[in-house]
Amino acid sequence: MRRKLALIVDDSRSARLVLQRMLEKYGLEAHTVSSAEEALDYLVRHRPDVIFMDHLMPGMDGFEAITHIKKNLETATIPIIMFTSQSGELYLSQARALGAVDILPKATASTELHEALRRLSLLPKATESQVDKSNTVKGHTKKNVTQSIRKFTNDLLRPHKVDEKDKVLTELRGIRRYLADQSDVIDQNIQASLRLYSDKLNKSFTEKLDEKIQTLINSQPQPEKRSEWPLLLLIVLLFISLFWNYSLQKKVSELASSRIEPTINEQSVKSMLDTLVRQKNTEAESDLPTQKHNWRLAEWAINQDFMFPYNELALGAQRLGRIRQFLKMAEAAGFKGRIILQTHIGKFCLTGSVEDNYQLAKADLPMDRCDEIMNPAQSSDLVSMQQSVEFANFLATAATDYPDIKLELKNLSRDQALFEYPSRTGNITAGQWNRIAQLNNRVTVKLIAE
């Protein structure tokens, strides 16, 4: 014959263990889980004969778990006993209203557990017979003693008919206790029903009151209709603004997609700086505005060739040679003042992972399929985190090597884009995004002459 199966749901390991041992003494097989979610998963594969449910647990509590169990037709008939430290008539009525058949306190005695199992007919026959036999022996002994005392008392003090009266009184007392117990149960059920009816009545009144309020609002006179011209004018201006922004964005995208290599290279910069040397020897003091213009032109020229790939440091060895050469040319041209190198990091659409190394996403990949949008070589916007060891060593000796030139480093946050990124909504692809990201991935040069 199959042993009765009980499921214990409690987040306390000690409470589960104590109740499990008590149930095994009564011949029941007990399985345990530590949460209501695990209990629901357990019930998909098993059908216990009774569930002992704790109330307060992390995540879903006991009442929520009962609601889920009772909604499922396959598990709705399983009796549930609340095994909790909660107490009180209100809690009892709430538990029974949800479908619990009984409440068993955690500090329960063996007799209370026995009674709960007996009411559900979950005690094995051997256990019931043993308990009944024990009760019979005890009752028989007690009855013999009581009869002996009663007989002795009757013989000495009363007629024999008093025994019948005592029997009737005992039965009446038992009936009174039974009626009192039933009265408590009925009172609790009535209170639960009244609370349920009160909640429904309150909900009905609230809904009707909301309907009345809405009717009164709708019956209020509507404000005079205003002229639609301002709204139409605003819509027209909005469309013009959107069209203008779209045109600018399209031009930037076309410029980025063309992939035109800079026509101003280091040779042209050198030629321009040589020209400045010649002008310096021939121009008078009154021609300083012209020199300033030419420095701006040289600044623009060097900025055309200072973009770098997504997987290189902004101030790495690849740019160190060009920066050295530019400083030498500036010194030869007689430049005195500050040269500011400002880094800016682009945010690229990448695929892959840290372990497999990130790669630029394919050009036709939709933006929402990017694994990451970042720059893998630049973890921070801080200039100190964007330098190679060679560049840091060069920077330490630059002040001595070029006494008339002060080299300064600055950074621009990657959130302040030099070229505006396209919106991620719509059909934007990784190729369109990464072209703008490459334009933003650069070092800019600014010359401030004394």
Answer whether 407's CB lies under 8 Å from 339's CB.
Answer: yes
In this structure, the answer to whether residues 315 and 439 fall within a common structural domain is: yes
Q: What is the reported pLDDT for 285?
A: 46
Quick: pLDDT tens for 60-72. Answer: 999 999 999 999 9
In this structure, the answer to whether residues 32 and 77 fall within a common structural domain is: yes
pLDDT over threshold 90, residue 334: no
Last residue of a domain, which of 80, 103, 123?
123
Please indicate, yes or no, if residue 225 is contained in any of the structural domains.
no
Q: What is the reported pLDDT for 2?
A: 73
Question: Whole domain around residue 184: which residue ranges?
Answer: 158-209
Quick: pLDDT tens for 27-56. Answer: 999 999 999 999 999 999 999 999 999 999
Q: Tell me the CA end-to-end span of the chain in Å, nearest whole number.
A: 102
Mean pLDDT score, 270-276: 60
β-strand partners of 9: 33, 53
**50 Cβ partners below 8 Å, 6+ apart?**
4, 6, 7, 78, 79, 80, 81, 117, 120, 122
In this structure, the answer to whether residues 169 and 116 fall within a common structural domain is: no
Predicted TM-score (pTM) of this structure = 0.38
| Segment among 55-59, 106-110, 443-447 with least mean pLDDT | 106-110
Q: What is the reported pLDDT for 424?
A: 80
Distance CA 369, CA 365 (A): 7
Last residue of a domain, which of 101, 123, 145?
123
pLDDT over threshold 70, residue 129: no
Please indicate, yes or no, if residue 215 is contained in any of the structural domains.
no
In this structure, the answer to whether residues 289 and 413 fall within a common structural domain is: yes
Please indicate, yes or no, if residue 134 is contained in any of the structural domains.
no
pLDDT over threshold 80, residue 359: yes
Q: Which has more confidence, 301 or 107?
A: 107
In this structure, the answer to whether residues 19 and 69 fall within a common structural domain is: yes
In this structure, the answer to whether residues 240 and 186 fall within a common structural domain is: no
Q: Which has more confidence, 17 or 223?
A: 17
Where residue 29 sits, what CATH number does that domain have?
3.40.50.2300
In this structure, the answer to whether residues 297 and 330 fall within a common structural domain is: yes
Please indicate, yes or no, if residue 218 is contained in any of the structural domains.
no
In this structure, the answer to whether residues 364 and 326 fall within a common structural domain is: yes
Neighbours of 73 (CB within 10 A): 7
Please indicate, yes or no, if residue 143 is contained in any of the structural domains.
no
Q: What is the reported pLDDT for 301?
A: 58
Mean pLDDT score, 183-188: 59
Neighbours of 326 (CB within 10 A): 23
In this structure, the answer to whether residues 252 and 387 fall within a common structural domain is: no
pLDDT over threshold 80, residue 244: no
In this structure, the answer to whether residues 376 and 348 fall within a common structural domain is: yes
pLDDT over threshold 80, residue 110: no
Q: Which tokens belong to 425?
A: 């909504």
Distance CA 416, CA 344 (A): 9
Please indicate, yes or no, if residue 69 is contained in any of the structural domains.
yes
Average pLDDT of the chain to the nearest whole number = 77
Residue 263: band (very low, low, confident or very high) from pLDDT cuts 50, 70, 90? very low
CA-based diameter of the chain, in Å? 151
In this structure, the answer to whether residues 251 and 280 fall within a common structural domain is: no
pLDDT over threshold 60, residue 293: no
Please indicate, yes or no, if residue 420 is contained in any of the structural domains.
yes
Please indicate, yes or no, if residue 385 is contained in any of the structural domains.
yes
Answer whether 318's CB lies under 8 Å from 391's CB.
Answer: no
In this structure, the answer to whether residues 317 and 444 fall within a common structural domain is: yes
The three-state (H, E, C) secondary structure of the chain, written as one string: CCCCEEEEECCCHHHHHHHHHHHHHCCCEEEEECCHHHHHHHHHHCCCCEEEECCCCCCCCHHHHHHHHHHCCCCCCCCEEEEECCCCHHHHHHHHHHCCCEEEECCCCHHHHHHHHHHCCCCCHHHHHHHHHHHHHHHHHHHHHHHHHHHHHHHHCCCCCHHHHHHHHHHHHHHHHHHHHHHHHHHHHHHHHHHHHHHHHHHHHHHHHHHHHHHHHHHCCCCCCCCCHHHHHHHHHHHHHHHHHHHHHHHHHHHHHHCCCCCCCHHHHHHHHHHHHHHHHHCCHHHHHHHHHHHHHHHHHHHCCCECCCCCCCECHHHHHHHHHHHHHHHHCCCCEEEEEEEECCCEEEECCCCCCCEECCCCCEHHHCCEEECCCCCCCCHHHHECHHHHHHHHHHHHHCCCEEEEEEEECCCCCCCCCCCCCCCCEHHHHHHHHHHHCEEEEEEEEC
Q: What is the reported pLDDT for 394?
A: 87
The number of domains in the chain is 4
